Structure 1
Amino acid sequence: MLDKMREGSQGIAAKIILVVIILSFALAGVSSYLGGSNVAVAVLVNDQEISQASVEQAYQNQRASLQQQYGEQFEMLASNPNFAQQVRAQATQGLITDALIAQAIDEMGLRVGDEQVKDEIRNMQEFQVDGKFNNDQYLALLRRASYTPAQFSQSLKSDLARRQLLQMLVGSEFVLPTEVDIANQLQAQQRVAKVLMVNSADFENSDAVTEEQINSYYESNSDLFKALEQVSVSYVLLDADDLTDQVSVSEDEIEAYYENHHSDYQRAERRKVAHILVQGVSEESKQKAQTLLNEINDGADFSKLAAENSDDTFSAANNGELDWFEAGVMDPAFDKASFALTKASPISELVESQFGYHIIKLVGIDASEALPLDEVKGRVEIALQKQKTNELYFDLHQKLSEVAFESPDNLEEAAGAISAQVQQSDFFSADNVPQVLDNSSLLQTVFDQDFRDEGMNSEIIELSDTKAIVVRVNDYKEAAVKPLVDVSEQIKNNIALQSAQQSARTFAEDITAKLDNNESIEADLAEKGLAFSSDLTFARYTRDYDYQVIQQLFKLAKPAEGQVSRQLVTSSTGDIAVIELSKVIDADAVNDEAKTQIETMLTRSSSDETYQSLVTQLMANADIKYPVAD
């Protein structure tokens, strides 16, 4: 729900608070917020617990990030049987790293004062209204995130301490000019090569996989087939969108609302002005404009001067007059000066804008006025219906919260209080959550052991600004290895794929060996319907070819004249490529802007290496245990 914390926004406020909250979970573990001694521990990092729930939270965050990054390609990635395991392992490693960094911060004695935290909060734009810190905005956003000010301050304090360490560690990194020049040349270099792609699919034969192979694979890789813990739940959902039909508005209510909200249905004041523009912001332009203004003040005809002297030829043809406009439409300086003119003082002083110097004359004022009800009745009705729907939603929200708490051992009474139905879910894990239940706070609740053991209703959980839910766990299944019968087909496909990849590699190795021995490969390629590509020119960051192939191509040694450098490469899809580098094209001089970018990149890379060295050292000296896995 954090991305719903500000109405109409899924940007800065949600993202910044999300980062801080994720960090706090990573550093402290969800158990520190939930309390109790029955939280399932996934990892012990120097005796600091990282709960299973926090691992699931980090997994969901990383999975969502990948989905946003890869878009339509995500489903293909997620279909890989090892995808979830790999992403969960990366998420777990991230939590371990954060815990180690937090412990290092503590050992170094790095501290952040309360005043520094307060200043950081006051300066966060998401907590500001009209450029100033607003306490109501601050508290409202924290409430939507189910966070107390104390918890948020502590999270932010941890984040600031972490920044302090990183700045101390990597802030002094630099690169030498010669390093920049070398990287500059290498980055702009191009390479000419031929590529033979050997697709594993051409060698696949699932019928050749035996039952013995399947059984052996299952026994050796049981962790790959572990079903995650699952729950089935009952829930009562309150959705404002479902309340619209329950709300009606009468003609009298429309008229009353219109009368009470006149200011919302005003036609803004408009101005019609004429102007003379002297183009350019220079002393010469200013002097020319001042001369024209002096003539006007001495009684010269504004229209004639505009027609003869204005550099705005379009308005000059109309005696300098512009169309009617409302405030906020024109250049800020022009706009301000135009709406400051009065009938008593219709001529402005010189007005400087990005276009030059203006002399503005007031031609007419179309005063602000209330729009008639007949003209805005549709808008009024929509606004009134939305208001009444919101009022009904918040009334039912309060009832749902109260009844679910007062009758915690069932949902029927809570559902009856808001005229809703108790709904049931099938069993689901953190990997396949029903869309309506896909909320981090809700998942954290239903997968918490203490909550399940209590067997009570949850507190009301905000899914968004217009959706809330109360949930209870019906049943629970522990994580367990799936029966062989359920994964036999998957194993068969895995073995067939591995065999096909090995066959493709063996074929490519034979081709490479023959080429190295100057033997003919025509018959081998013809049998498989394969052929080398024509000469292709690659840049280091070519995006229209497999990145693993490109990466290896730029690692090959420059060949001697008339020779090739040859290499076997496993592509990102598991297929095999044979690449033949024939030419290296060195780049011409690169501009200064590119060199600046390269210097920044090298500095960042050096900082990353320093940070990774710290992490590697901390990992080597840490005592890390996996109680759940045991």
Structure 2
Amino acid sequence: MMDNLRAASNHVVLKIILGLIILSFVLTGVGNYLIGGNSDYAAKVNGHEISRGELEQAFNNERNRQQQMLGDQFSQLAGNDGYMQQMRQQALSQLIDQTLLDQYIKDLHMGISDDQVKQAIFNQRAFQTNGKFDNAKYNGLISSMGFSADQYAEALRKQLSTQQLINAIANTDFMLKNETSKLVDLVSQQREIRQAVIDVNALAAKQSVSDDEISQYYQQHQSSFMAPEQFRVSYIKMDAAGLQETASEADIQAWYDQHKADYSQPQRNRYSVIQTKTEADATAVLDALKKGADFATLAKSTSRDPITARKGGDMGWLEPDTTPDELKSANLTQKGQLSGVIKSSVGFLVARLDDIQPEQVKPLAEVRDAVADKVKQEKAVDAFYKMQQKVSEAASNDNESLAGAAQASGLKVNETSWFTRDDVPADLNFDAVKQAIFNGGLMGQNGAPGNNSDIISVEGDRAFVLRISEHKPEAVKPLDQVKAQIADTLKHDKATQQAKAQADKILADLKAGKADALQAAGLTLSASKSFDRNAQDPVAQSAFNLPQPADNKPSWGVSEDMQGNVVLIALDKVSAGTLPQAQTDEMVKGVTQNNAQIAFEALLENLRKQAKIKYGAAAQNQ
């Protein structure tokens, strides 16, 4: 049973229906949904025309929705004509369904009053500010989507009518108390079983296979024995961190002299201001200050700037970059100097220069370590790029080995072992390096070594030059390499077949009343164990497919456990369990929602069967 539309909308079909509702389109910007069509229509439903414009708008809306949801992946799908045609057909189908629903609602004389429409608008969170309806926000939003208030109200009325129909269908389904009780008994049921295990591995150890069987299996399953593509790579690794050298005193002094601004604090000035509304007020303030009035007292009582007024006009220390242009243009250079009346964007100002803090430069001794680090880094980076240039030239001149590049750089050539795309050595495990190895550009003909790579930069401070020294394409492993594996597989398959045949025979004997059948086969049953339907054990799951025991005799069956052994099952007892009330309520809710979904599907199918639907030229323009 569905308590409300929100619960109903959690199901697929009802989501589709709600997706057709005009208000949902409104919230994604489909303002032209209410626009009529012309003779070039998409479809006619019982005489009602769905225009080309409506179809194009619905199609574009779905396209935009999927693009937002799928991101870059949508670009690939959009290139598939079949996919886009399917999307267009789906958009038209949804428009037809919505039209049928509108007509059905009209036939049922289901109406929505103006008060209901008004209340629905008030309840929309999109139109609220701090939990209360905001008329300005409402008008702004619907206007931005191309709706007048009347158009939006009509669209919302249709949505509410459709919602009313959904609720009517959803609330017709319910479960009787005895139905609920039976469902709970079935879901919470517990079964007690005993097991007798036929050990497949023990049987496999006794099996034998011939060379012909192995060869035949190998020929039939070669795709299972593919050796992945493999590579061996030679490379030179350049690392800027390894090129750092000690910085000389001369280098440190030169770098410091060139970058003094980095260790300098520029001159700072401290100002006080009084802000007024009019020039006349500012002139009166300036006259009072010249006659000896206290600046701080006057600022607190007169200034219109509440922040500086509380501080007696004090603006704090300002550097050139943070000093307003109005104060700069006042050209105050002496402590205690007053400005004239200054016109500003906030009115008029009278300013005073309270103090001056001269430019300060940190001495080299105070920042020497930091400067030395900078010098080391710059020299290392410079050496790093010079080395790259040497290596690049040498690798290009001698394109059949890395010997020349190694000699030019003084670095050694490293050699990897064989590796695949899935186990790249850690030293080479960078996207740019892997792309160079695997994109085929460094491969020679017929698997022969190719050219040296260009310089491959990684993370800014490392670089590689490399070549593929050996390559093995993907290939079927030789029979000798997989012979033992195939033999084990065949033995296990034979053992499994033998175990199943033995189990079937024992099962037939037990059902025929031969109680000693298990003992004769050397098998014993385990102690009884109880399972519920949620058990992940495949044997327990098989037990729930067995008939209930009768006449105090177990019900027998055969299954396999998670180790691949064949298991005989004795189902001894079936008992009902219990469920918490909350879980029971949720289960009943799910069943009734599913029933409501089925009912809605049937309604739509019936409406389509009875309708006269004619497709126009716009429907074919795909």
Give the TM-score of the pair, scaled to structure 2: 0.43
Give the structure with higher Rg (CA). Answer: 2
